[in-house]
Structure 1
Amino acid sequence: MFLLAETTTANTGAVGYLYTYGPLVLMFVVLYFLLIRPQQKRQKTRNQMLGSLKKGDKVVTIGGLHGTIMEITDDICVLRVNDATKMTFDRSAINAVSQTTAKE
C-alpha cells in the first residue's frame, strides 16, 4: 500500500514542478514584457534624442522651460530663454525637442 503511494508521487514529481514553478516563471515573463521592455525602449529613444541635440534646437526642459540651445557640451547645455536671458542646465534636464511649425 505504501509502495503504491511512493511510486505515484515519484512519477508526478516532474509534473508537480511544472505546476509549482510554471506560473511563477510565467509571471516573470509577463512582467518583463509589460514593464521592463517598454522602459528600455523609452530610455533608448531618450538617449538618442539627447545625443542628437545641437545648437539652435528649440527644447523644453523637465521643468517646462522653453528655450533655444546656444551652447552644448557633453553634459551642460546653455539655453536662451529670451533676448537677454541665458540659463545653464544639465543635458539630462532636457525633456523634449519642441516641434514648431512655420507660421505663414
Structure 2
Amino acid sequence: MFEILAAAASAEAPPAWFQWAPIVGMIVIFWIFIIRPQMKRQKEHQAKIGGLKKGDQVVTAGGLVGKVVKVDDNYVDIDLAQGVRVKAVKSTIGDIIPPGGAAAND
C-alpha cells in the first residue's frame, strides 16, 4: 500500500503553462470575436464622421434626422425642419444617409 502512495506522490504535476492555457484561450476568443470587430467599427465610424460635410443627411444617436448646415471641429449644426436648427456634438452622429435616401426636410 505504501508503494502505491509513493508512486502517486512521485507522479509529475502538469506543466504550469498547461494550467494557463484555458485562460489564454478565452482571452484570444474574446479578442477575435468581440474586441477586434468593435475596434474596426469604431474606426469606420470615426472615418465617416471625419468626412462629414455641409449638405449631408445624418441621423443622430438620439434618432433625429436632418441636414448638416455647418461643421466645426467638435460640433455640427443640423437643420431638422424649416426654421429648426440644432447644434450636436460631432461624435453623436450615428450615421450618414446616402444620397437618394428618404429626405429629412420634406
Query: With structure 2 as the length reference, what TM-score do the two structures score?
Result: 0.80
1:90 aligned onto 2:52: no
Identity %, equivalent residues: 30
Using a 3 Å threshold, how does the CA distance of structure 1 residues 32 and 66 change in structure 2: closer, same or farther?
Answer: same
Residues in 1 aligned to 2:61 and 2:101: alpha-carbon distance in whole angstroms: 25
| 1:1-104 equivalences in 2 (<5 Å) | 2=6, 5-6=9-10, 8-9=11-12, 12-14=13-15, 17-101=16-100
Using a 3 Å threshold, how does the CA distance of structure 1 residues 13 and 71 change in structure 2: closer, same or farther?
Answer: same
Residues in 2 aligned to 1:64 and 1:3: alpha-carbon distance in whole angstroms: 70
After TM superposition, give the deviation of residue 19 of structure 1 in Å: 2.7
1:44-75 superposed Cα distances (whole Å, 9 cap, x missing partner): 00100110001111111111111111111010
- Relative to its length, the structure with more helix (as a share) is 1
SS of the residue 1:86 aligns to:
strand
**How many residues in Structure 1 have an aligned counterpart in Structure 2?**
98
Residues in 2 aligned to 1:49 and 1:69: alpha-carbon distance in whole angstroms: 14
Unaligned runs of 5+ in 2: none
CA RMSD of aligned residues (A): 2.2
Residues in 1 aligned to 2:60 and 2:45: alpha-carbon distance in whole angstroms: 13
